[in-house]
């Protein structure tokens, strides 16, 4: 698939609301900084023959919160490909739509942070031999090739932007080297929580569980903390138990992730209302009325409840949102 470089692809929040996608290469390797302050280190990481060197701008390395821009672009591009389109590498979107989708306030400070994130993604240089789209090429590139403000307001806020993703990243999208992530990922504010969710999603996936030694996890996250401090931070995340889809435990310097949604195939599942799949925007509405809940688990409960009632709802999407509204915020 060869994109048209003369055109741009337009994201529309309410036309699509596609499932959010994360690329497997950056889920596997620590590409993004977990620091909340400017991180100007040159990073080098090697694992199983893969190497990656990340050289920051004077503004620092791109953060795991900056990565949301790439997740947003990848998700809309992949949805377009699934519809049979051949989208350009240049993606145009409204800043407000991006803020809404990624759980950010649309205030002046976040417009400024948005522009800073774009500059970090553009200025950082990646040198790697990590394969994307079936190609292993030793190459250097920015996480995005370019960006520009399509529209600014009187105060200089970027109201709409065009982002040109790198060829390396675009190959991963076209080859579908992506995993769907839970939208509640964007409810996680702590960088380490986000990174742990990525690792759990990549390695546990839809399976029952995944275990990893604390020292290896320390390296895989890219954390700059000492191992002792890292152990304390992971312990706090274990106690908070906020990761979507996965429960996390720490014992004897081994970290375990258990899939909250896994069901033993040998067990006889309760009959559930089959019905049509819910619309993507329905899940978005459900998150607004039942924040903090695992939506996959809520949908499972709802379908079992409908099956027990024995009467299919005339408007399944509205019925599910109503079910979630009765649940309310997770205690």
What is the per-residue DSSP string for 96-159? Answer: HHHHHHTT---SHHHHHHHHHHHHHHHH-EEEE---BTTB---EEEESEEEEEEEEE-TT--EE
Structure tokens at 214: 């604390």
Q: Which domain covers residue 27, as residue numbers?
A: 9-180
Q: What are residue 203's phi and psi, to 5 degrees?
A: -100, -30
Length of the chain: 331
Dist CA 236 CA 239 (whole Å):
5
Q: Are residues 111 and 193 in the same domain?
A: no
Dist CA 167 CA 172 (whole Å):
9
Dist CA 316 CA 321 (whole Å):
9
Q: Are residues 76 and 190 in the same domain?
A: no
Domain end among 180, 202, 222? 180
Q: Are residues 225 and 154 in the same domain?
A: no
Q: Please report, in tens digits, the pLDDT of each residue of the chain (331 residues total).
A: 555 444 666 665 545 467 899 999 899 989 999 998 899 999 888 877 888 899 998 889 999 999 999 999 999 999 889 889 999 999 999 998 999 999 999 888 899 999 999 999 999 998 888 877 776 666 678 899 999 888 777 777 888 899 999 998 999 999 999 999 999 999 999 999 999 999 999 999 989 999 999 999 999 999 999 999 999 999 999 999 999 999 999 999 999 999 998 877 666 555 566 677 788 778 778 888 887 777 777 888 888 888 877 788 888 899 999 999 998 887 6
- Whole-number pLDDT of residue 266: 66
Q: Are residues 75 and 94 in the same domain?
A: yes
Residue 103 inside a domain? The answer is yes
Structure tokens at 103: 């759980």
Rg (CA), the chain: 21
Residue 272 inside a domain? The answer is no
Residue 219 inside a domain? The answer is yes
Residues 6+ apart with CB under 8 A from 201: 22, 27, 179, 181, 245, 246
- Whole-number pLDDT of residue 8: 60
Domain end among 226, 259, 292? 259
Q: Are residues 200 and 96 in the same domain?
A: no
Dist CA 110 CA 275 (whole Å):
40
Total of domains in the chain: 3
Task: Find the angle CA(291)-CA(293)-CA(299) to the nearest 5 degrees.
Answer: 115
Domain end among 143, 158, 180? 180
Q: Are residues 248 and 290 in the same domain?
A: no
- Whole-number pLDDT of residue 14: 46
Q: Are residues 297 and 197 in the same domain?
A: no
Confirm if 67 and 27 have CB atoms less than 8 A apart.
no
Q: Are residues 229 and 300 in the same domain?
A: no
User: Please, what is the angle between helix 67-82 and helix 108-123, to 10°?
Assistant: 80
Q: Are residues 46 and 62 in the same domain?
A: yes
Q: Are residues 30 and 152 in the same domain?
A: yes
Residue 222 inside a domain? The answer is yes
Task: Find the angle CA(329)-CA(208)-CA(253) to the nearest 5 degrees.
Answer: 90
Dist CA 197 CA 240 (whole Å):
14
Confirm if 10 and 51 have CB atoms less than 8 A apart.
no
Looking at residue 220, the DSSP 8-state letter turns out to be H
Residue 70 inside a domain? The answer is yes
- Whole-number pLDDT of residue 139: 66
**In Å, what is the CA distance from 143 to each residue of 47, 48, 139?**
20, 22, 12
pTM: 0.77
**In Å, what is the CA distance from 118 to each residue of 67, 103, 114, 189, 236?**
10, 18, 6, 19, 31
**In Å, what is the CA distance from 144 to each residue of 5, 84, 187?**
14, 24, 25
Q: Are residues 89 and 164 in the same domain?
A: yes
Q: Are residues 143 and 162 in the same domain?
A: yes
- Whole-number pLDDT of residue 6: 43
Residue 159 inside a domain? The answer is yes
Residue 287 inside a domain? The answer is yes
């Amino acid at each position: 698939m060869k994109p048209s470089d003369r055109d741009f692809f337009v994201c529309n929040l309410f036309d699509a609301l596609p499932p959010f996608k994360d690329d497997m290469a950056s889920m596997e390797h620590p590409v993004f900084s977990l620091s909340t302050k400017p991180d100007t280190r040159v990073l080098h990481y090697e694992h199983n023959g893969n190497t990656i060197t990340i050289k920051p701008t004077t503004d620092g390395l791109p953060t795991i919160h900056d990565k949301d821009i790439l997740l947003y672009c990848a998700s809309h591009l992949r949805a377009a490909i699934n519809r049979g389109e051949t989208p350009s590498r240049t993606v145009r979107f409204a800043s407000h739509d991006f803020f809404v989708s990624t759980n950010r306030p649309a205030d002046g400070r976040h417009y400024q942070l948005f522009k800073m994130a774009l500059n970090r993604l553009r200025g950082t240089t990646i040198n790697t031999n990590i394969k994307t789209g079936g190609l292993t090429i030793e190459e250097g590139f920015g996480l995005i090739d370019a960006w520009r403000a399509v529209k600014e307001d009187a105060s200089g806020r970027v109201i709409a932007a065009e982002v040109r993703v790198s060829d390396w990243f675009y190959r991963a999208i076209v080859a579908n080297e992506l995993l769907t992530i839970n939208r509640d990922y964007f409810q996680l504010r702590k960088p380490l929580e986000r990174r742990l969710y990525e690792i759990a999603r990549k390695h546990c996936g839809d399976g029952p569980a995944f275990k990893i030694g604390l020292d290896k996890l320390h390296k895989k996250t890219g954390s700059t903390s000492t191992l002792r401090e890292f152990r304390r931070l992971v312990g706090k995340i274990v106690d908070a138990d906020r990761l979507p889809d996965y429960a996390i435990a720490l014992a004897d310097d081994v970290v375990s992730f258990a899939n909250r949604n896994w069901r033993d195939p040998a067990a006889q599942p309760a009959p559930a209302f089959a019905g049509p799949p819910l619309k993507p925007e329905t899940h978005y509405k459900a998150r607004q009325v039942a924040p903090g809940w695992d939506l996959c688990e809520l949908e499972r409960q709802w379908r079992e409840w409908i099956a027990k009632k024995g009467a299919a709802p005339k408007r399944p999407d509205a019925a599910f949102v109503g079910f979630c509204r009765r649940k309310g915020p997770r205690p």
